[in-house]
Amino acid sequence: QVQLVESGGGLVQAGGSLRLSCAASGRTFSRNAMGWFRRAPGKEREFVAGIRWSGDRTYYADSVKGRFTISRDNAKNTVYLQMDSLKSADTAVYYCAADSQIFRPVTSTGAQYEYWGQGTQVTVSS
């Protein structure tokens, strides 16, 4: 059974940092694009960041560019999201997602990702 488990969320003051982790089990995703999405209260789910299977290309939503960094460790089957200079607008549940198809380019479209974690809450106080 494939599982994606996020961790690292919590409460932080504006301007602070958090590092989210997403550990995958049940299969390897070393050849699959992975991404982070978020859903804020009363809003649609949105793409935050994505990373190519090889880790050499990353993509970000404009709202987080320059503040968030996505990375991966294929040996650990884990993807990370380093979040710096957090703002109250970043408050949301953050979800890790994995594409089921190997070598497919990163996309910001949630429908392309077959596997999802349960989410981790990030709350930024102003």
What residues in the chain have per-residue pLDDT under 50? none
Task: State the pLDDT at residue 39.
Answer: 98
Task: State the pLDDT at residue 7.
Answer: 98
How far apart, in whole angstroms, are the C-alpha atoms of residue 101 and residue 51?
14
Per-residue model confidence as pLDDT tens digits over 58-80: 999 999 999 999 999 999 999 99
Four-residue CA torsion sign, 27, 76, 66, 52: negative
Task: State the pLDDT at residue 16.
Answer: 98
